Structure 1
Amino acid sequence: MDFDRRVDTCNMDRALEWGAAFDKERNTTLPQWLSGYRNRQPCEVLTTYHGSFNWSCSVRFNDGITWLVRFAVPGKVMDGDAKVAREVATMYYVKSHTTIPVPAIHHWGLSEDNPSGLGAFIIMDFISGVSLRDILTDETNPDSKILKSDFPNEKLRILYRQIADFHLQLYQLDFSSIGALSMGDDGRITVNARPLTLKMQEIEAHSGVKIAACENQFSSATEYFNYVAQQDLQHLHGQANSVDDAADAEAKLVFRHQLIASIPQFVRRDHDLGPFKLACDDMRYGNMLVNNPQDLNIVSVIDWEWTNIVPAQMSQSPPQWLMIRKPADWSSCDGDEFDRYNHLLDLYLDEMKKLESSRNTNTEDSLSHLMRQSMSDGKFWFHALIESCYDADYSPPWKALRKLIPNIDKHGYLPEPYRRAFVDKKLEDLATYTALWEAMQAKRETENKRKEQELENTIRRVLAEEPDNVPALKLASQMGIIV
């Protein structure tokens, strides 16, 4: 499914506007504000880091202490206050209940607490390290979304032993309801917030469809899975360009209803009512820092955004990001990518088994056994669909599930009038979207030309008065202006 380019364009404008404000405040208001958290000790901003959802900068004080301040970027994050509040509660909880290396938080606040106007923020320890993503991807293609094939198995085992330990520790934490962690005024952290997943964020960010919030937390996996599957249906109905044509519209509608009808087959009845587990949607190599590429000691796990309390069976599935590229983005469900993933999974589960054995974990109840089981009973693919969005009936996880569901085409029966009405409505939406997007492009092109002409006139005026003005000459050269 394509993104709504109108929504993307507007969100990009918001992010660029925020970025300009950040650049303006970076070396003036920002250091003054941060020094107030350390008895007005002077500080300087060092390096700025641009992430998928956040911008951060390291700040060094006169006594050598270095902090990191991180902002949720409007336009990239749809609800910065909700994201930051949940992430802070998660970081405090994980740090106090596990030995996972989580940066210490010194201060944090919502948009209303930030006098710089830059929005919700977290101030934490700066951890020096190298991103695992940079080590594990091809240096000649930094945008590659697949783990390089020549990375030694011995080094992967070093990493997997540590990551498996993190998973085992998180798996020991039990909760009585599904939702998100929140911190009360008394500092107590409980499951008292509604889920805020990466899926909900991405649907709104690229389609403009704001997922209907649930009234409270969930008490069963079945209830939660139905809620999430309904999100995809709401997305399909709500995004103007969610279909390509009539055939695509009907196929996507049938796919979504068949998935909803199939949920009972993939719910673990012995875990349906809990206990539930803590899981981070954004747990991946890019959010883990190691001391150096040789030792590969993980010194920090960062970015705990999009962490929720979820059905236990989701934590009982292997990490989808072992190969970096997730199953929803594979070219097939049984090709080279699947084989490569299984090789990595064998290494990962072997290291997990060793840890479990050293801790005398019962084999039948072990997390490694349950993860292996999810690969054979289809829950791995089911969870991939629950976590992903913008999928269609041809996505690899759905193709894999279709092989496991008897008489799949009889599931989720839809009356013909409902199908026809949906298709007609989506084709109307698509036609309206196309016309509005073309008009929006034309308007922006006209506005850009006007701004370029104004800039050219200004450059010519400056050079007429100051022929040797270096900045103006440089801009003239960049714009191809002959003077």
Structure 2
Amino acid sequence: MDFDDIALNHFDGLKKEWVELCSRSARGICGLANKYRNRDGCLLRSMHSGSFNFSLRLHWEDDGDDWLIRFPLPGKSMFPEEKVRGEAILMTYIADNTTIPVPRVIASGTADENPTGLGPFIIMTWIEGRKMSELLRTSDSSDKEETLNPDIDEETLKALYGQMAQVLLKLWKLDFDCIGSLSNNEVTGKPQVTKRPLTLAMNELVRTCGLTDLDPPRTYNSSTDYIVSLLELQSKHLQQQRNSIYDSADCREKYASRHLMKASALNFLPPEDNYGPFKLFCDDLCPGNVLVNDSLQITGIIDWEFCYAAPAQFAGSIPWWLLLERPHRIIYNFGVKAFFEDLLPKAYLFLHVVQYGMSHGTVSRYDILGLIR
């Protein structure tokens, strides 16, 4: 389907308005950061624009760590308050329950708690490092259109894949009793899954397709219920997007494909896994959000948006980022055969480093069989 250009133009306008406001808000941003630093003298050291967020590096002449303040971009992040709240809780949870290096959350707040008018925010510690994707991609590709370097040294690739495998293995050890996003319990203050799963697909259906009527916010106690809700959302997409079809033949084809998916999808869910345990799945966990040092060791993972407890099959699938580029783009440009010819050797290599992680005591054999099945 084509994007809904009317919706996109509207959201692009919101982004431009926000960027103009941000360009006039340096003093307010520093004032907000000074409040949490308990001192004056904040300096804006650099700016960083991502797919869904805009960030600024903050510095003080006090020998302490630099910080990063990050705002979800209006027109890009469709659920900014929900996204910021969930991500701040999840980053703290990851830091408390794993050895995965993540920024330390200093503070987070809603739009009402931000006097700059720039919306919800997270302040976190700055982490030094180079994006892993820069080491994997071809020299002529960019952050937005990354392509795996076909001539990359195999030992380097194995080392970087191995670092990513360690992260996924550690995440696999975390179990959840329902599908959804983390929030803090109002009584105990401890994180638990009580919010709907906020996904990248939901964000993009609103942003690029103009949908407004998504599923009611809820968690799911079974994989079957969740998969059914995803399938219904695809039908809703076909019905609601104003330019979802081109002609009657196109309509019949898209309608039929959705019903075929509904008829077959649940056959891929083993009954013994239907009620959990559920695993943490991160839509946007990829080399572009992972920082490494000169020894190819991970120094930090900087982006945890669109992460939620999901069916184990989601977390146990072959990662989409092995070729850096999104699979559907490769298939569109080069075809299915070319995609698999490129993917399969990398998939075998990745499974090899996952098994290596198992043999060195990262997880038990039972866990690894669950991850790669």
Q: Normalising by the residue count of structure 1, what TM-score does the alignment of the two structures yield?
A: 0.73
Count of paired positions: 368
Q: Which amino acid aligns with 2:148?
A: L
Residue 112 of structure 1: CA displacement? 1.1
1:177 pairs with 2:173: no
Distance 2:130 2:362 in 1: 34
Change (3 A) 1:244 1:145: farther
1:451 maps to none
Q: Tell which deviates more after alignment, 223-232 or 335-344.
A: 335-344
Distance 2:357 2:307 in 1: 25
1:255 pairs with 2:254: no
Say if 2:215 and 2:229, in contact at 8 Å, map to a contact too: no
1:225 maps to 227
Residue 211 of structure 1: CA displacement? 4.5
2:168 maps to 167
Residue 96 of structure 1: CA displacement? 0.7
1:158 maps to 159
**Percent sequence identity over aligned pairs:** 34
In the TM superposition, 1:118-137 aligns within 5 A as 118-137=118-137
Say if 2:47 and 2:56, in contact at 8 Å, map to a contact too: yes
Distance 2:293 2:20 in 1: 33
Residue 371 of structure 1: CA displacement? 5.3
Residue 215 of structure 1: CA displacement? 4.7
Partner SS, residue 289 of structure 1: strand
Distance 1:345 1:339 in 2: 11
2:146 maps to 145
Say if 1:32 and 1:42, in contact at 8 Å, map to a contact too: no
Residue 370 of structure 1: CA displacement? 4.7
- Superposed CA deviations along residues 336-375 of structure 1, whole A, max 9, x for unmatched, are 2212211111111111111112229665x343x45554xx
1:108 maps to 108
Distance 2:58 2:362 in 1: 45
Distance 1:211 1:240 in 2: 13
1:95 maps to 95
1:279 maps to 281
Q: Which amino acid aligns with 2:274?
A: D
If each structure's helix is expressed as a fraction of its own residues, which one has the higher value?
A: 1
In the TM superposition, 1:366-405 aligns within 5 A as 366-367=367-368, 369-370=369-370, 372-373=372-373
Say if 1:287 and 1:302, in contact at 8 Å, map to a contact too: yes
Residue 244 of structure 1: CA displacement? 1.7
Say if 1:53 and 1:76, in contact at 8 Å, map to a contact too: yes
- Superposed CA deviations along residues 190-214 of structure 1, whole A, max 9, x for unmatched, are 1011111000000001111024233
Q: Which amino acid aligns with 2:112?
A: E
Q: Tell which deviates more after alignment, 45-54 or 64-73.
A: 64-73
Q: Which amino acid aligns with 1:36?
A: K
Partner SS, residue 32 of structure 1: helix
Say if 1:90 and 1:304, in contact at 8 Å, map to a contact too: yes
Say if 1:222 and 1:263, in contact at 8 Å, map to a contact too: no
Residue 88 of structure 1: CA displacement? 1.0
Change (3 A) 1:211 1:134: farther
Change (3 A) 1:7 1:334: closer
Say if 1:137 and 1:144, in contact at 8 Å, map to a contact too: no
Q: Please tell me the root mean square deviation across aligned C-alpha atoms, in Å.
A: 1.7
Change (3 A) 1:99 1:46: same
Distance 1:71 1:215 in 2: 23
Say if 2:138 and 2:146, in contact at 8 Å, map to a contact too: no
Q: Normalising by the residue count of structure 2, what TM-score does the alignment of the two structures yield?
A: 0.94
2:30 maps to 31
In the TM superposition, 1:63-462 aligns within 5 A as 63-65=62-64, 66-142=66-142, 143-185=144-186, 186-292=188-294, 295-331=295-331, 334-359=336-361, 363=365, 365-367=366-368, 369-370=369-370, 372-373=372-373
Change (3 A) 1:112 1:319: same
Q: Which amino acid aligns with 1:222?
A: T
Say if 1:103 and 1:124, in contact at 8 Å, map to a contact too: yes
State the structure with more CA Rg: 1
Partner SS, residue 174 of structure 1: coil
Residue 326 of structure 1: CA displacement? 2.6
Residue 302 of structure 1: CA displacement? 1.2
Partner SS, residue 57 of structure 1: strand
Say if 1:46 and 1:59, in contact at 8 Å, map to a contact too: yes
Q: Which amino acid aligns with 1:44?
A: L
Distance 2:215 2:248 in 1: 30
- Superposed CA deviations along residues 137-172 of structure 1, whole A, max 9, x for unmatched, are 222232533211111110111112221111111111
Change (3 A) 1:24 1:361: closer
1:56 maps to 55
